[in-house]
Structure 1
Amino acid sequence: MSRKTGARDRIDVMLQTRPEDMLRETFGFPGFRPGQSDIVDHILAGRPTLCVMPTGAGKSICYQLPALMLDGMTVVISPLTALMDDQVAALQANGVAAAAIHSGRDRVDNVETWRQVQSGDVQLLYLSPERLMTPRMLAALEALDPAMFVVDEAHCISKWGASFRPEYEDLSKLCARFPSARLAAFTATADEATRQDIADKLFGQGGEIVVHGFDRPNLTLGVAAKASWKSQLLEFLDDRRSESGIIYCLSRKSTEEVAGLLREEGFNALPYHAGLSPETRRENQERFMAEEAVVMVATIAFGMGIDKPDIRYVFHLHMPGSMEAYYQEIGRAGRDGQPAETMMLFGLSDARMRRQFIDQDGEDGEHKRREHKRLDSLLAYCEATRCRRISLLAYFGETGRQACGNCDLCLDPPVLIDGSLDAQKLFSAILRTGEMFGAAHVIDVLRGADTEKVRARGHDSLPTYGVGSDRPKPFWQGLIRQSVAAGLIEIDIQGFGALKLAGEARAVLKGEQTFKIREISTKPPKSRRAPKSASVDPSTVDATLLAALKARRRELAAERNVPAYVVFSDATLIDMAQLRPTNLELMASVNGVGPKKLETFGQIFLDVLQEHGGPN
C-alpha cells in the first residue's frame, strides 16, 4: 500500500531498540562520535537535513544507522562506482543487507540485485544520480515507496560550489516525487552560500542545515613557495618511504613525470589521471587502497570517495582551484585520526593558469566572478602571516579560533617587516612599463637584467631600471605573490599575465600607506613532521604483533577483493593489539568488532594473537 503523506506524518515501524544499541550491536562501536547522535535524531524525526561534517568524522554512520531503523528501503545517491562498492562491502561485512546497481557490474548481477530489492531483502541501495533519475527507475521506486533518500557528496548539486556536477541537478525533483520519504544530504565541503543553495535545491522550503565544523586538528598544514619542485618533493618524502600518500598535480603530463621520478627514487608510485584507461585507473586505485606504502600521483580525477584511512600525507605540487577544492583534497589524509601532513607548493605561474581556467570556463560572468574570488581567498591563505588553521576555518565561517600550534606558521612563525620601500620599487616598475608585462620581465627591469626584451622596449633607460639589483630574483617573486594575495597587484589574464596595480597600491607607492610583509626567505623551507596526536598511538603497541595483524587483514581483504579497512580499520587492529583478547567474548569488546565481524573474523585474529604470545 503506497503512503503519500508528508515525511513528518509518515509512521515508520522502527526496530524496538535505541540507536546507541544498534550502533554497538551492528557496527561494534561503544558510542557515537561527537555530533553523530544529534544528526541521527534529526533524520529519525523526519526533518530534511543537510549535514556538513569534516572528513573522517563518521558521516556514513549518520545515515546508515537510521536506514536500519526505518521501515522500508533507503536509497543512497553516490557519484562513484568504486565508492558504492566499498560502502556496500563494508556494510555487508557487518551483516547489513546492502547492494549497489551501477554500470560497472554485469547486467545479470544488476538484475538479480533488483529482484532482491523488489522482494524487500535490501535495506540500503546505492545508485548513481544518472541511474536513479531515469523515468523507469523513478517509477519502479515509487511502487516500492522508499523510506529515505540520502544524497552523498551533496556539494556536487550546487553551481555555487567548486565541484558542480550537472547530473546532480535533477535530484531537486526528489522532494516532490517522493513526499513520504525522508531526505538527508551530506558533504564535507561547502561554504555558507553553497550550503544554502544545496538546501534550497533539495528541500525547497524548510529543512535543517547542521554544520558539525570543518576542523581536522590531526592535519599539519604547510605551504611553501615553489622553488625547485623536484628537490622540495624528494626532501618532503625522504623519511616517508613506509607511508601511503597522495601527490596532486595539475596535468596528466606532470602526473606521469612525477610518478616516473619517484619510481626511479625507489618509491612505489602509481599515476592516476583521465588519460589512462578505466581498467588501469581501477587497478591503480585498488592497489593504493589495498597495499601499504603506495604513493598515488594524481590529477583531481582521483579522490572523491576515497576512504583509505591511513593516508599519511597529501602534497600539492600545484595550487588547487579554490579553498573548497584544497580542503576537500587535504581531507583525504589522516582519516584514522592519526597525525598526517599536508604541503602545498605555489607560484605565480599556478595562479595565472588557474585564472585562465576560470576565464575559459563556459559558465556565465557571475560564476567566473565567484571563482576568481575563491582563488583570491586561496592566494591569501598561501601568503598568510598568522595561523593557517585560523585562516582556513574562517573561510568556512568558523571564527574565534586560537592558534593551532600545528601548522607551519605556528611551528615557525614568520617575521613581519615593513616592505613599503621595496613595494614602491616594484609598483613603480609595473607602472613605468605600462602595466603590460608579466612578473619575469618586471623583475628583469628591477634587477637591471641585460636582455633583448628590456633593450628593445627601452626599459633600460627607465628610472626604475636596476633599482632592485640588491635583491635576488626569489625575493621579488615572493614580494609579487604577497602583493597579489594582499590585493595590491592583479594578474591580467586577458593581457597574458600582465601585472596591474590594484587596491591601495598607489597609496603605498606615494608613501601614504605602509605595506607589512612576511620576511621572504630565498631558501626552500624544510618539511616538519606532524606531532603526535592525542588519539590512539600505534607506538604504544607491539610493532611485530600489529604488523602480523595487518598482514592477516591484507590476506583476508585480497581473498574477498575488498579494501583492507573493510575487514578491520587500523584503529580496530591497534585496539586489538593493546587489549590482546583471549576469547571471542573479549574480542567482542574491541572497538569496531560487531557481531557479524566477530563471527567472520574473530577466531582468525585470535589465532594471530595467540601465535604472538597471547595476553600482556
Structure 2
Amino acid sequence: MQLYDWQREVIDELMRGSGRVLVVAPTGGGKSLCFQQPAAELDGVALVITPLISLMADQVASLDARGIPATYLATSLPADENRRREQAALAGELKLLYVAPERLASERFVEEVLMRLPLSLVAVDEAHCISHWGHDFRPDYLQLGDLIERLQPPRLIACTATATPTVRREIVERLRMPDARQVLRGFARRNLQFSVEEASGAKAKERRIAAALKQWLGAPAAGRGGAIVYTGSRRNAELVAASMRELGWRAAHYHAGMTGDERTEAQGLFQSGDIDVIAATNAFGMGIDRADIRLVVHHALPESVEAYYQEVGRAGRDGEPAAGLLLIADPDITLRFRLIALDEELPPEQALHRRELLRSMIGYAASAACRHDQILDYFEDVAEELGGCGHCDNCIAAAAGRLGAEPDETASADAVRAALKAIRELPFAVGASVLSSYLAGASTAQVRRYDWQARETFGALGPLDEGRVRQALRRFLAAGLLALELEHSTLRITRRGADVASGQRENPVRLPPALAAVRGAPDSLGGDDLRLFEQLREWRLEQARAAGIPAYGVCQDVTLRAIAAARPASADELIAIPGMGPARVERYGAEILALLRDGGAPPASSATPPPSSPRSDPSAEGRSFSEYQLEVRRTHPRAWERWSDEEDAHVVQLAASGKGVDDIAAELGRQPRAIGLRMVKLGLIEEAPAEA
C-alpha cells in the first residue's frame, strides 16, 4: 500500500523510535493506517480506543476485507457475543480490538481482558476529546491516562484531525507521553475551494444552497457526487432537507433526535450514493467513508475553526475539486454566543474558552486573507503554508483586482480608534445592522429615526461601505474589542476596546480592504449619476423590505454606484459590474435594467414600499424614539422584547392552526411587521408583509 512520507515518519517512530507519537492530520487524511499497518506486522493485539460504533464497524469491515483479523466490542451487541470476541482476542486470534472509552470504566474488562492481553500498541483515536480546551470534550477520555499507566503498552499513538497547540499540549500531558513525537501533516487540502458568503434568513440560505448544489452536483442523481449541509439545529436540518427535496434533489436529514435505526438508514443511503444531499447537525460525519463529496455547506456559523475544518474536510477526499461554502449572518453569531451562555453545566473557564474559540471562527470568516493559509496558520502547520491558494474567495477577489490593499494594524489604528469612540459615545447600544449603517455614513431609516445622521461621529468609517463596515465590526468582535449583549442582540464596547480607543492599548485589528475602484465607479458621483444612485438605493430598500432582509443583502452601495456610473444596457453588461453575480442578475436584473431605461423611474414590477405615516416615523411629530416606543407599546405591549424559544414554538403552533400575521401579532402583543419577519426566519412564510 502506498504511504505518504509523513505516514512513514509516524510508523517508523512508533516501531523503531520512541514508540510514542501524536498525529494531527485532517479527516480522511490516512491517520488510521499509521496504527493499522504496525498492528498487522507486530506480535500481539492492538487496542484501539474510539468513540463511535459506526466508525469501529467500518474500520473492522475494511480490515477484514484486507485479511487482517479485527473486531470491536459494543453495548449494542448481545453480552455473549461481546464475551466471544473478548475470548478471541485473548486466544491470539485478532490483530486489532476496537473499544469505546466508556467500556474502559469496567474494572472487570480491564482486569480480565486488557491486563491479560499481549498488547502490541494502544491507539487513541479522536484524541482531542481528552482536552478541556478542545471543541468536543468527552469526560470518559479522562480515565485514559491512568489506564495507560496500568497497561504500560510498548507503543502509544494518539490521533486527531483538529488540535491547536494548546490542545496538543493537553493531549500528551494527559496520556502521560510528554516526549512524544508530534507529526502535523496534511492540512493543506489544495483541492478544496473555500468561500464565505453573507446570507440571512432561511429562504436566502436555501436559494444559495440550491445554486451551489447545481454548480457542484449538476442535477439530482447525475452521478457527480454528494453534498453535506451542516445546520445549527435539528429543525433546520429537517427544513433544509425538505426544501431540497421540493427542488428535486434526493435529500434526507440526520440529527441526534432521530432513532438509531433512522440515523443508520439515512447514513447508509448517503454512503451508498442513493441520496445526493444530507442536511445534518454536527452529529453527522464521524466514520463517513464517502470519497466523492463535492460540497460541504455550513448553513450557520460553526462553533470553532477546529469543528469547521473537521466538517468541511469531509469534502474532496478523492483528491478531485470540491467546495466548502460557509454562510454567515449576524443572528447566527448571536445564537452561538447565546448557546454558550445558556449552558448551565459549563464551568466558567470552559465557557470563556468556548467564547474564545467562537471569536477565532468569527475572525476567520471576516478575514480577507487566503482561507487555506489562515487554517494552516491556526494549526501552526507552517511547513505547508501555500502563500495563497489561488482559488478561495479571497484569493480570487484579490487576483481579479476587486480588493484594495489591506492596511496593517498600525495603518488601521486611527480609523479603528475613531470607530470605537463613535460606538462608545452613542446614547444607547444598537445591533450590528444599525451600527454598520451609522459608521458607514448611510442615512438609513433607522439612523434617521434616532436622528443620528447629525452626530459628529456619523460616518466614522465612511470610506468603507456598509458591508465592509459589518466585516470590520466582526473583526472587532473577534479581537474582543466589542461584545454582544445577548438580551437585545446589541453590540457594546469592552474594556479592551475602551483601552484601544484611548490609546492605552495597541490596536490589534486590521480594517478590511476597501473594494477596489472599478471602471465607471468613482468614489463620488455627481449630477444625473448621483440622482440615479439615490433612486437605485430607494429601489433596493423596497426590495429589502419586501423580502424581510437587510438592504446589503440585495446589493451593496459600491455596486449601485458602479451601476449608476456605467448604466449597463443589457444583462451581459450588468453581470460585468463587480457585485452583480449570476444569481443577482437573475433575480434583480430585469428590474434594474428597466429602472435604467426609464431614467430612474421605479419599474412597475418593483416591490410596493410600505406607506409612510406619522406613526411609523417618530421624527414626524418631533417625538423622541423613546416616546415613539411608548406609543407603540400601548397597542403592542411586547414590542421590542427579546424572543424566546417558547414564543417561537407558539408562533409555529398558531400558524399551523391557520392564523395569519395580524391575528398572531394581536395574540402575542407584538407588531405585525415583527411577527412577519419572525415567520420568515422560522421558514413559515417566504416574505414578510409590508408595514401598514
Q: TM-score range by the shorter chain?
A: 0.7 to 0.9
Is 2:15 the counterpart of 1:44?
yes
- The residue number in structure 2 matching 1:95 is 67
Inter-CA distance 127–230: structure 2 relative to 1 (3 Å threshold): same
- The residue number in structure 2 matching 1:145 is 118
Q: Deviations over 1:308-351 (max 9, x none)?
A: 22211111111101111111111111122222111101122222
Q: Which has the higher contact order (CA 8 A, sep 6+)?
A: 1
Distance, in Å, in 2 between the alignment partners of 1:408 and 1:526 is: 16
Is 2:291 the counterpart of 1:335?
no
Is 2:289 the counterpart of 1:307?
yes
Calculate the TM-score normalised by the size of structure 2.
Answer: 0.65
Q: Deviations over 1:542-593 (max 9, x none)?
A: xxxxxxxxxxxxxxxxxxxxxxxxxxxxxxxxxxxxxxxxxxxxxxxxxxxx
Q: Deviations over 1:164-223 (max 9, x none)?
A: 111111111122111144221111110111111101111244332222242212211111
Contact 1:417 1:516 in 2 (8 A): no
SS for the counterpart of 1:105 is coil
Q: Deviations over 1:510-539 (max 9, x none)?
A: xx9996423367358679xxxxxxxxxxxx
Mapping of residues 231-242 of structure 1, within 5 Å: 231-239=207-215, 240=217, 241=219, 242=222
Distance, in Å, in 1 between the alignment partners of 2:462 and 2:184 is: 51
Mapping of residues 590-601 of structure 1, within 5 Å: none
Cα displacement (A) at 1:468: 9.8
Cα displacement (A) at 1:449: 5.0
- The residue number in structure 2 matching 1:107 is 79
Equivalent position to 1:193, from 147, 160, 166: 166
Q: Deviations over 1:382-408 (max 9, x none)?
A: 122221111111111133641111311
Contact 1:84 1:100 in 2 (8 A): yes
Is 2:211 the counterpart of 1:229?
no
Inter-CA distance 176–268: structure 2 relative to 1 (3 Å threshold): same
Q: Deviations over 1:272-300 (max 9, x none)?
A: 11111111111101111112552110111
Contact 2:26 2:310 in 1 (8 A): no
Cα displacement (A) at 1:478: 4.2
Q: Deviations over 1:47-101 (max 9, x none)?
A: 1211112233311111011111221111111111110100011011111111111
Is 2:423 the counterpart of 1:430?
yes
Inter-CA distance 311–524: structure 2 relative to 1 (3 Å threshold): farther
Q: Deviations over 1:354-395 (max 9, x none)?
A: 222233343333323322222222222112222111111111
Cα displacement (A) at 1:450: 4.9
Is 2:490 the counterpart of 1:497?
yes
Distance, in Å, in 2 between the alignment partners of 1:525 and 1:325 is: 30
Alignment identity in percent? 33
Equivalent position to 2:32, from 60, 64, 70: 60
Cα displacement (A) at 1:460: 7.9
Cα displacement (A) at 1:495: 6.5
RMSD: 3.2
Contact 1:439 1:499 in 2 (8 A): no
Distance, in Å, in 2 between the alignment partners of 1:472 and 1:409 is: 18
Distance, in Å, in 2 between the alignment partners of 1:504 and 1:472 is: 26
Inter-CA distance 307–524: structure 2 relative to 1 (3 Å threshold): farther
Equivalent position to 2:184, from 211, 221, 241: 211
Contact 2:431 2:490 in 1 (8 A): yes
Contact 1:271 1:284 in 2 (8 A): yes
Is 2:398 the counterpart of 1:403?
no
Mapping of residues 343-382 of structure 1, within 5 Å: 343-361=325-343, 362-382=345-365
Mapping of residues 129-278 of structure 1, within 5 Å: 129-140=101-112, 141-227=114-200, 228-239=204-215, 240=217, 241=219, 242=222, 243-278=225-260
Count of residue correspondences: 493
Query: Which letter does structure 2 place at the counterpart of 1:170?
Result: Q
Deviates more, 1:498-507 or 1:200-209: 498-507
Distance, in Å, in 2 between the alignment partners of 1:61 and 1:515 is: 42
Q: Tell me, which stretches of 5 or more residues in structure 1 are unaligned? A: 1-28, 528-616
Distance, in Å, in 1 between the alignment partners of 2:365 and 2:119 is: 46
Q: Deviations over 1:431-456 (max 9, x none)?
A: 343452222444576655556x986x
Contact 2:359 2:479 in 1 (8 A): no
- The residue number in structure 1 matching 2:501 is 506
Contact 1:249 1:255 in 2 (8 A): yes
SS for the counterpart of 2:89 is helix
Distance, in Å, in 2 between the alignment partners of 1:388 and 1:470 is: 25
Q: Deviations over 1:5-45 (max 9, x none)?
A: xxxxxxxxxxxxxxxxxxxxxxxx2x322211121111113
Query: Which letter does structure 1 place at the counterpart of 2:316?
Result: G
Q: Tell me, which stretches of 5 or more residues in structure 2 are unaligned? A: 516-554, 557-578, 584-692
Query: Which letter does structure 1 place at the counterpart of 2:128?
Result: H
Is 2:96 the counterpart of 1:124?
yes
Distance, in Å, in 1 between the alignment partners of 2:165 and 2:57 is: 31
Distance, in Å, in 1 between the alignment partners of 2:72 and 2:379 is: 33
Query: Which letter does structure 2 place at the counterpart of 1:76?
Result: V
Query: Which letter does structure 2 place at the counterpart of 1:106?
Result: P
